[in-house]
Amino acid sequence: MSQTRKKTSSEGETKPQTSSVNKFLRGSKAESRKENDDLKTTDSQPSNWIQKTAPSETAKPLSSEMELRSSMEKYEQFLQKLGKKAVNKCLDLNNCGLTTADMKEMVALLPFLPDLEELDISWNDFVGGTLHSITQQMHLVSKLKILRLGSCRLTTDDVQALGEALEMIPELEELNLSWNSKVGGNLPLILQKFQKGSKIQMLKLVDCTLTSEDGTFLGQLLPMLQSLEVLDLSINRDIGGSLNSIAQGLKSTSNLKVLKLHSCGLSQKSVKILDAAFRYLAELRKLDLSCNKDLGGGFEDSSAQLVMLKHLQVLDLHQCSLTADDVMSLTQVIPLLSNLQELDLSANKKMGNSSENLLSRLRFLPALKSLVINNCALESETFTALAETSVHLSALEVFNLSWNKCVGGNLKLLLETLKLSMSLRVLRLSSCSLVTEDVVLLASVIQTGHLAKLRKLDLSYNDSICDAGWTMFCQNVRFLKELIELDISLRPSNFRDCGQWFRHLLCAVIKLPQITEIGMKRWILPASQEEELECFDQDKKRSIHFDHGGFQ
């Protein structure tokens, strides 16, 4: 160690500034030297700039050191070309527009990254058809823990090559193959090498065109994945038919914390099947069953085991066609999930006249931070119950009531909530039929120093507000010092000229240090106000996007 320190010190004297790539590779220099010598006798060689004639025995250390320095420089140049920086033990080339030449260059660098733990080449179309060049080098990065290949247009050959290579990276903890349609029908080819005791913790297969047979195989595989914490099978509409097998496998994944089955073709019977597995998932934190429109009616007699999820923090049931009986059943369960932080019941329109009791009992969820209940056709009684409950939700950060017309003219029912909500960050009231009185009320709440933490405010598609109301609002919006997004756009079918309130808005924006986005779609600026906006853009050094006019 003493000699190593001296050597490092000596190098530091001749090279004062240590590059980020040096830091990336320094920890494995000794290993790299040994592996580089070994590599010369293997079949899979790096590109020509790495291949060298075997030096004499006495010259080996010097040659290896020079080779390592050369690889560092190449690595740094490669990252700079792609606009990336070296991160310790991580190669992140996500959405870099990699070309075939880039792929070859990256593959040539892998032998010099023996300590690599994370490789992300997602959203690069040219990966498809060339993955074998990477998988052939997997044995050189055997410490890899994270592999992300989302949306890479993988071919059937890529999928097969990946399956053969996975056994070379036994430390793998995360595998993301989402948005690759060729994974569907070929899942056994990829995952068949996973053995009992696998360290995989996160498996993401979103929109992979998985078949019912894939689902059956996965159900048989799950008992081997004892460390699994995240399973995302969203947007695979054919796996609903193999849910029995998947649910049976889930009973063996006691460490599972996140289960996402968004848009998976689930039916009424699916709720009962999953309900039987919930008692084995005591550690579950997030459950997403959203966008399964045939799920409606399934909770009537099969939601009892949901209450066993004592640690559940996120429950997403949006667009599940919940019936009045479903809501009644959930009323007995949801308020008992004392750790719940996020609840999404949006786009369930039959809740409008049947959710009064459920909404009233949400007051028993003290940790609730996000309540999304937009487009639920709430009626006067249910909105009143929600308003009375919301006063007790002191931790609320996200409140979405958009597309509930009953809010219009009744925003005063939320007055106490708006005054007491010290943590509110996002408030969405889009298409709520708000009237001028509602906006004036909101302006007065803002003026008195409430909603000071608000970062996003959506008042779009409320076309009944007159210019006087917008003037009052724009005069007071300057008090929202942490606001970053504001949307006051009009409906797609409506166009209106901006009134004098636009000048007040420009004056307010100057005093909002963090705002970056102002939505004003279909508001038409007269020529004089267009000039004011142009002057504002030229004078101010901050980047603020005004999305206004007819088609911008």
What size, in residues, is the chain?
552
What does the alpha-carbon distance between residue 550 and residue 201 come to, in Å, rounded to a whole number?
48
* pLDDT average, residue stretch 419-443: 96
Q: Give me the sign of the Cα torsion angle 335, 337, 342, 346.
A: negative
Quick check: helix, strand or coil at residue 333? coil
Name the pLDDT band for 550 (thresholds 50, 70, 90). low
Per the prediction, the chain carries an average pLDDT of: 87
C-alpha distances in Å from residue 173, one per residue of 148, 224, 403, 521 = 11, 14, 41, 45
Q: Which of 354, 351, 399 is nearest to 376 (CA)?
A: 351
What does the alpha-carbon distance between residue 117 and residue 91 come to, in Å, rounded to a whole number?
8
Contacts of 480 (CB under 8 A, 6+ apart): 446, 451, 452, 454, 457, 512
What does the alpha-carbon distance between residue 96 and residue 125 come to, in Å, rounded to a whole number?
10
Q: Is 153 left (phi over 0), alpha (psi -120 to 50) or beta?
A: left
pLDDT at 10: 40
The secondary structure of 162-183 as a DSSP string is HHHHGGG-TT--EEE-TT-GGG
pLDDT at 268: 93
What does the alpha-carbon distance between residue 319 and residue 498 come to, in Å, rounded to a whole number?
36
Residue 259 pairs with which residues in a beta bridge?
231, 287
* pLDDT average, residue stretch 315-320: 97
pLDDT at 66: 77
Name the pLDDT band for 539 (thresholds 50, 70, 90). low
pLDDT at 544: 85
Please say whether the beta carbons of 177 and 204 come within 8 A: yes
Q: Which of 136, 132, 83 is nearest to 110 (CA)?
A: 136
Residue 179 has pLDDT above 70, yes or no: yes
Q: pLDDT of 200-241, one tens digit each?
A: 999 999 999 999 999 999 999 999 999 999 999 999 999 999
Give the alpha-carbon dihedral of 288, 292, 298, 302, to 10 degrees: -20
* pLDDT average, residue stretch 17-22: 46
Q: pLDDT of 103-144, one tens digit each?
A: 999 998 898 899 999 999 999 999 999 999 999 999 999 999
Q: pLDDT of 489-538, one tens digit each?
A: 999 999 999 989 999 999 999 999 999 999 999 999 888 888 888 877 77
Please say whether the beta carbons of 424 and 451 come within 8 A: yes
* pLDDT average, residue stretch 249-254: 96
* pLDDT average, residue stretch 398-414: 97
* pLDDT average, residue stretch 413-441: 96
What does the alpha-carbon distance between residue 125 and residue 102 come to, in Å, rounded to a whole number?
12
Q: pTM (2 decimals)? A: 0.85
